[in-house]
Amino acid sequence: MVLSSSTASLARGGSPAPAPAPTPAAAVSGGAGSAAHAASSGALGLRGLALRRPRELVLGRTAGRIALATMLLGTLALVAFASARQGVLVPRSYLSFPPWEAGPLHFLFRGLPSDYLALNIGLSVLVPVLTLAYVAAILAVRSFSVRALVIVILALHALLLLAPPMQLTDLFNYLGYARLGAVHHLNPYTHGISAELHDPIFRFASWHNLKSPYGPLFTAISYPLALLPLPLAFWALKVIAVLTSLAFLGLVWRGARLLGRDPRFALVFVALNPIYIVYALGGFHNDFFMLIPSMAAIVLLLERRDGAAGAALMFAVAVKFTAVLLLPFLLIAARPPERRLRVLTGAVLAAIPLAAGSIALFGFTLPNLSDQSTLLTDLSVPNLVGIAIGAGGGTPAVLRVANVLLVLVVIYCLRRQREWLAGAGWSTLALIASLAWLVPWYILWVLPLAALASSVRLRRAALAFTVFLVLTFLPETGVVLINHGFNPMGSPVGQASKALQRRLAG
């Protein structure tokens, strides 16, 4: 339905109530703007999807229910076929697919077919359908009750918890590196999983010759899991991943409340994103371990707990170094200078024991980011740009230019953006676009920033990049492109990257 401009303004502000009085937390969020402006400037950002102004497209309760039902039924179908038997939905299941990996739903759905081509086509249809349902849910968010949203999100998490890891083998790689250190007493930053060929994790892992690229904090906290029997460690890590996802969403909710945004929109924008469901949560990815402390840093800063905010961000950096990009924006938001000093003090006080612990466990070796930074995914932005300009794909020169452009974007956002959350979001989006090794779940880094910032353009860009990642990572996309004469990895640099991937996979 199309609302009048007076009614549509409620969607933009997220609440029919008048803008709240300025609070310290809201004052932090807006940079140069006032708290009242931050609260009323459009948390939902539905005007970013407007067909024309001043009227806006907003869907009603029936469309919203259909969208939520589509996401639940689509996820159930994905889980059912993945649990049924060996197949393309669960990487390396053709080598081994024990009942503890297949999950309890295996016995319910094991009669389902597992034809390779049919599942590829089915997944290539299902994920775009989930994307359309996601957009519909955003447009219908005003019709959702908090209870309904919480039930849907919990149901999605429960379904995916019962499924095997889909599309990814990263969970087994996490356990492989943990077992190297905890069981075999080898440094995962100097050894690959192939150093222990007879470990039971070897046949499930994929990057056998890749030294660990994961941060020291995540690696250290995964060590105790390695001491458990493999099936138990597998399920413990799945449960932890699901719980960390829920904790992260709880922090997104809290951040929206502190900023005067409608928390329903923040939850829908982040948690119902198809990449969040299919790749991040469906693959039990460790990005949630980074997103919790980075989101906590934002929430703590909004609560004026500046030292704790700086400390929380260092925990995020110790999981994935890319989280450091948020630090300069936290410093911009922390005004006056006394607050910036508290943020820096908290960061330093947290960094010291984290660094000492890393040295004690791993010596002076660092996560292996060099190999990953030289790898290409077929349709990463640098590779596509390199092909478009005739440079031969994602060459080292193209990647250097991408890094320079990233630095320029960050400097611009630090100097010119009126809102620090929007500046952090644009910088993070630029970081993702600059990566030669681009995988779908990286979009999670920008989703909470886009959901909480008042920038409609940032939300549009995050949605557009979600669609790009969805389309470029569909199983049938590569087949269609090659059938039409376009091979993005056909250049010498692409072939070299594929050769390196084969060597690292072993």
Does some domain include residue 73? no
Among 96, 362, 357, which Cα is nearest to 212's?
Answer: 362
Domain membership flag for residue 213: no
Q: Is residue 499 part of a domain?
A: yes
Evaluated on CA atoms 292, 293, 297, 300, the torsion sign reads positive
Instruction: Please tell me the distance from the alpha carbon of residue 309 to that of residue 348, in angstroms, as a whole number.
Output: 11
**Domain end among 30, 49, 68:** 49
Q: Which residues contact 233 (CB under 8 A, 6 or more apart)?
A: 175, 225, 226
Tokens, residue 489: 């990895």
Question: In a structure prediction context, what are the per-residue pLDDT tens digits for the chain, which is 506 residues long?
Answer: 333 333 333 334 343 333 333 444 444 444 433 333 333 333 334 444 333 333 445 888 899 999 999 999 999 999 999 999 888 899 888 888 999 999 999 999 988 988 889 999 999 999 999 999 999 999 999 999 999 999 999 999 999 999 999 988 999 999 999 999 999 999 999 999 999 989 999 999 999 999 999 999 999 999 999 999 999 999 999 999 999 999 999 999 999 999 999 999 999 999 999 999 999 999 999 999 999 999 999 999 999 999 999 999 999 999 999 999 999 999 999 989 999 999 999 999 999 999 999 999 999 999 998 887 789 999 999 999 999 999 999 999 999 999 999 999 999 999 987 899 999 999 999 999 999 999 999 999 999 999 999 999 999 999 999 999 999 999 999 889 999 999 999 999 999 999 999 999 87
Tokens of 8: 């549509």
Kindly report the backbone phi and psi dihedral angles of residue 206, in degrees, each rounded to the nearest multiple of 5, phi listed first. Answer: -120, -40
- Alpha carbon distance 311, 474 (integer Å): 39
CA distance 174 to 159: 22
Whether residue 270 contacts residue 252, with contact meaning beta carbons closer than 8 Å, is answered with: yes
Distance CA 255, CA 247 (A): 12
Peptide bond into 440 cis (omega under 30): no
- Our CA angle for 214, 217, 221, nearest 5°, is 100
* Conformational region of residue 42, where left means phi above 0, alpha means psi within -120 to 50, and beta covers everything else: left
From the list 246, 305, 344, 334, the residue with the least C-alpha distance to 29 is 334
Q: Measured between alpha carbons, how far apart are the two ends of the chain, in Å?
A: 55
Cα–Cα nearest to 377, from 488, 464, 462, 457 = 488
Report if residue 299 sits inside a domain. Answer: no
| Count of structural domains, the chain | 2
Q: What residues contact residue 40 under an 8 Å CB cut-off, 6+ apart?
A: 12, 13, 19, 260
In-domain check, residue 40: yes
- Given this model, what pLDDT does residue 424 score? 97
Distance CA 393, CA 383 (A): 4
| 8 A C-beta contact, residue 431 and residue 325 | yes
Which helix (H) or strand (E) covers residue 56, if one does?
strand 56-57
Judge whether 114 and 102 are in contact, CB under 8 Å.
no
Q: What are phi and psi of 57, to 5 degrees?
A: -85, 120
Provide the residue type at 234 as one letter.
F
- Residue 368 located in a structural domain: no
Which one-letter amino acid corresponds to residue 21?
A: A
Peptide bond into 54 cis (omega under 30): yes
As separate numbers, helices (DSSP H) first and strands (DSSP E) second, the chain gives: 25, 2
CA distance 181 to 204: 18
Residue 244 in domain: no
Cα 276 to Cα 44, 280, 447, 450, distances in angstroms: 19, 5, 10, 14
pTM summary value: 0.87
In a domain, 75, yes or no: no
What is the CB neighbour count within 10 angstroms for residue 431?
19
Tell me the residue type at 129. Answer: V
Final residue belonging to a domain, choices 49, 66, 82: 49
Provide the residue range defining the domain that includes 22.
2-49
* CB of 193 closer than 8 Å to CB of 235: no
